[in-house]
Structure 1
Amino acid sequence: MAAIHITDIEAAINFWREKKPSPDGITLAPEIRDLAEVYALMVYHHEDYVDEVGFPKDAWAAWLAWYETTPDTPCIAICSTSQGDDECKGCGRTFGEVQHWPAMTPAGKRETWRRITMEDTAWRFNKYAERAREAEQVWPDDVTDTKPPG
């Protein structure tokens, strides 16, 4: 079963803080209170992850609302798993993760996102951008005559 990392709980809390700011600096929106309870228990028990199965219903709804604002897939349309790689050079997902992505739970997808972000080896994490910058140096923008001669 997939689990949710504490940084995702923090991101969801911050999402709701921006969406529903406290009117008086003390009162919290119900979504923030629900997520803060989960967060506080994680901190108290020194846990980095919380199992999605035991997530309280209202906190789960608040987390899912935040999750819906995140990109669904890390795909950058350069899929090397279709060429036989066990791990995609473009997005960093394993062959199994790419194949089963549509069936994965939101928590499972976030676990994958966290892993590939922490590994930071996929082209999606600056490698592709670096290659694009290198290409700009080879083909500078100031080339004005792009028409073939004649």
Structure 2
Amino acid sequence: MPTFTIAEIEQAINVWRNRQASGEDAALCPRARHLANIYGAMIYSHATTIDVSSLSAGQVEAVTTALYQQELPL
């Protein structure tokens, strides 16, 4: 099964943080927020990888878009 590493999830969060501004309340943009939930759970459980099949389609899209596409959608 394909997996993402915790480093890849962190990198994707940072791409979205740099690409899309935080809201007025300093909240992360929606894509980064969805990935932050995964990242936090991985830290809590001491996981170094996560199976792609355990993620929603939106979460997979957020990671793959951030990591593998040159032009990111706004």
Q: Same fold, TM exceeding 0.5? A: yes
Residues in 2 aligned to 1:34 and 1:5: alpha-carbon distance in whole angstroms: 16
Q: Give, in angstroms, the shift of residue 42 of structure 1.
A: 0.4
- The AA in structure 2 aligned to 1:62 is A
Contact 2:9 2:39 in 1 (8 A): yes
Q: Which residue is equivalent to 1:67? A: 67
Deviation beyond 3 Å, 4+ runs, structure 1: none
Matched residues, number: 70
Larger relative contact order, structure 1 or 2 (CA cutoff 8 Å, min sep 6): 2
* CA apart distance, 1:64: 1.4
TM-score w.r.t. length of structure 2: 0.83
The aligned runs of 1:19-34 (5 Å cut-off) are 19-24=19-24, 26-34=26-34
Unpaired stretches in structure 2, ≥5 consecutive residues: none
Unaligned runs of 5+ residues in structure 1 are 71-150
Which structure shows the bigger proportion of residues in helix conformation?
2
* TM-score where L is the length of structure 1: 0.43
Structure showing the higher strand proportion among its residues:
2
Structure 1: distance between partners of 2:36 and 2:57 = 14
Alpha-carbon distance, 1:68 to partner? 2.2
CA–CA distance in structure 1, aligned partners of residues 25 and 13 of structure 2: 15
1:1-150 equivalences under 5 Å are: 1-24=1-24, 26-69=26-69
Taking only the aligned residue pairs, the percentage that are identical comes to: 30
